[in-house]
Chain A
Amino acid sequence: QKEVEQDPGPLSVPEGAIVSLNCTYSNSAFQYFMWYRQYSRKGPELLMYTYSSGNKEDGRFTAQVDKSSKYISLFIRDSQPSDSATYLCAMSPTGNQFYFGTGTSLTVIP
């Protein structure tokens, strides 16, 4: 079983839709949770960072961590064509080792 599981998609939504991206994990020691956005031919860009459980909101983006279910989510409200990218989840138990999902490809259609 992989440490981190992420549905690769692709996911295609109309502009303005709410997008939900998810990852599950198996290691209960994970404490640090991240979401990265990667545009085509670019390096991953840190989008959201969460420590332990709970929600974190930043503009149209909300990151949610449910440690009891070993499940994390990224919600994008009022999605825009500029949100079209691959979204990678990542997590770490201590900060010395990082585990990445395979990425979900998102296309927002104008």
Chain B
Amino acid sequence: SAVISQKPSRDICQRGTSLTIQCQVDSQVTMMFWYRQQPGQSLTLIATANQGSEATYESGFVIDKFPISRPNLTFSTLTVSNMSPEDSSIYLCSVATLRADTQYFGPGTRLTVL
């Protein structure tokens, strides 16, 4: 398994501002993902963070709104840009095992946008 930490654990932000969420893993992993989980909803994949190249975004998510960096195999950031109240959600970082047959999740970042 992998131990994943996220910062911040929660934040309250004003409309129009941006927040960068950090994800740190205790071992080198190939695949890292960013998810959003809104109240009462399932996990929605935002993007796959690729080391050394641009992230792969899912339908409905764009780089201008959710820029992602992955400078190495243990660290990634997700920025939520120009926030609106609709961006209030839990943002989760996850990593896949080497065999890519399961995922482990970080503790999440609870974001509230006023």
- Segment from A13-21, A57-65, A69-77, A95-103 that makes contact with B: A95-103
Q: Is the CB of A95 within 8 A of B96?
A: yes
Q: How many of A's residues come within 8 Å of B, CB to CB?
A: 23
* Measured CA separation A96–B97 after assembly (Å): 10
Contact A98 to B105, CB < 8 A, known contacts A44-B92, A88-B43: no
Contact between chains at B105 and A45 (CB < 8 Å): yes
Query: Chain A residue with minimal CB distance to B4?
Result: A43
Residue of A nearest to B107 (CB): A43
B42 contacts A by Cβ under 8 Å: yes
Residue ID in chain B nearest A101 by CB atoms: B42
Chain A residues within an 8 Å CB radius of B105:
36, 43-46
What's the minimum C-beta distance from B55 to chain A, rounded to whole angstroms?
A: 15
Q: Are B102 and A32 neighbours in the complex by a CB distance under 8 Å?
A: yes
The reply to whether A92 and B101 contact each other, CB–CB distance below 8 Å, is: yes
B42/A102 in contact, CB under 8 A: yes
In chain A, positions 21-80 with a C-beta closer than 8 Å to chain B are 32, 34, 36, 41-46, 49, 51
B110 within 8 A of A: yes
List chain A positions with a Cβ less than 8 A from chain B.
8, 32, 34, 36, 41-46, 49, 51, 88, 90, 92, 94-96, 98, 100-103
